[in-house]
Structure 1
Amino acid sequence: MGQKKIEAYIDCVSPYSFYAFVYLQRNKQALQSLGVEVEFIPVFLGGINVGTGNKPPWTLPAKAAYAPYDTRRAQKYFGVKFDVPEFFPILSLLPQRCLTFVKKEYPEKFEALYEAFLQTLWLESKDISKPEQLRIAALKVFNEEQVDVIMKAAGNPEVKKMLEEATQHAMKDLGAFGCPWFWVHDGNGNEEPFFGSDRFHFMWEYLGLPHRDLELQTPKPTGKL
């Protein structure tokens, strides 16, 4: 039997990527105990949208009108609370390139930096597409000298190419049309895509994991006639 694995293709500009990251981190130990590896992979959502012709929800009137309801429900379910920043959406190339570099050069701190970026953007309403705001987020994980190296590396052609290749792979090879996009290996040689932060119960079924999500509970008898 092979390795059960979840490849999570996410972009910090996507609030649903934030929800997925929070959920998977919260369940990290449980997944490890069940033999499931999780790998977060930075991609550029803007490139995926352009490449597939997908349109962000806020650009479509009907979806934009529905978004506040979905946002409120998702935040309650995943246990986070924030207001969508006035500057949203951001051009996420700088943070995603920094994450790409850190995953390669400082893999032990990669997830911590992803968390710092997501929290700084969504919970603290700081525009991490701006170098000065991104620096604030990165300093939660790295020292000043390391942050200088990371931010400089984000402009290197090699790092830009790595992010572009990951984005193209997710889109062209794995069928991604948005984020979060998951490519899941069931450990038996089979692989399937899953989209969005509300499909984990389907994912657990596919991986054969014990779970009780979405199970309705009938009222217990009160003992009264």
Structure 2
Amino acid sequence: MFLDLDRISEYYRVPFQLLKNTEEDFFAKGSVKAQRLLTYVQKESPEHLNGLLDEIFKRIWVDNVDISENKSLREACEAAGLSSIESSNALNEINHQSVKEELKKGTSYAIECEVFGTATYILHKNGRWNGRTCCLVLIEYSSLLII
């Protein structure tokens, strides 16, 4: 798998490096805060979602920055174009039950679609899931859920 990741990174010219402490960063600290933040931004400020996804990706896989810290997430928000006030509001909202429930709902849907362990796009054609997941986005598809 690690060799595949290096090859994909090189082929697509996307900077990538493995985490220095994968066990601690993924299993002890986790990424729930970042997932909740993305869930909130997807709903409340969708125009900033792609930028925030890029910033969080870079923090994890390029710069090896801890995304479990509020300071890091605030910096990602601001780099993605959210104001200081919007960033603070978003970080305050990630602990609200409604955001937690929305993330659970998205996670349940991902499980239903048999997504496992990788960044995945769920493609819908004519508003319906086609029974497959993949990492390519085709223009002909009418909607996209990012999980």
Cα shift at 1:71? 1.8
Give the aligned CA root-mean-square deviation in angstroms.
Answer: 2.4
Q: Which residue of the partner structure matches residue 3 of structure 2? A: 69
Q: Which structure has the larger Rg over C-alpha atoms?
A: 1
d(CA) in 1 for partners of 2:87, 2:37: 9
Q: Amino acid of the residue matched to residue 38 of structure 2?
A: L
User: RCO greater where, 1 or 2, for CA within 8 Å and sep 6 or more?
Assistant: 1
Partner of 2:124, secondary structure, is strand
Listed one character per residue, the Cα deviations across residues 61-119 of structure 1 (whole Å, up to 9, x for unaligned) are xxxxxx33112201111212232121334311001101111111111111111111111
Q: Which runs of 5+ in 2 are unaligned?
A: 142-147
2:101 to 156, 161, 181: 161
Q: Mapping of 1:25-40 within 5 angstroms?
A: none
Structure 2 residue aligned with 1:98? 37
* Structure 1: runs of 5 or more not aligned: 1-66, 209-225
CA distance in 1, matches of 2:128, 2:67: 39
Please report the TM-score for the alignment, with normalisation by the length of structure 1: 0.53
- Give the structure 1 partner of residue 76 of structure 2: 137
Structure number with the higher helix fraction is 2
Selected match of 1:78 from 12, 35, 38:
12
Q: Measure the CA separation in 2 of the matches of 1:181 and 1:120.
A: 19
Equivalent of residue 53 in structure 2, options 114, 122, 134:
114
Q: How many percent of aligned residue pairs carry the same amino acid?
A: 23
* In structure 2, distance between residues paired with 1:188 and 1:152: 33
Contact 1:87/1:127 (<8 A) preserved = no
Counterpart of 2:122 in 1: which secondary structure? strand
Q: Is 2:92 aligned against 1:152?
A: yes
Q: Distance in 1 between matches of 2:90 and 2:100?
A: 13
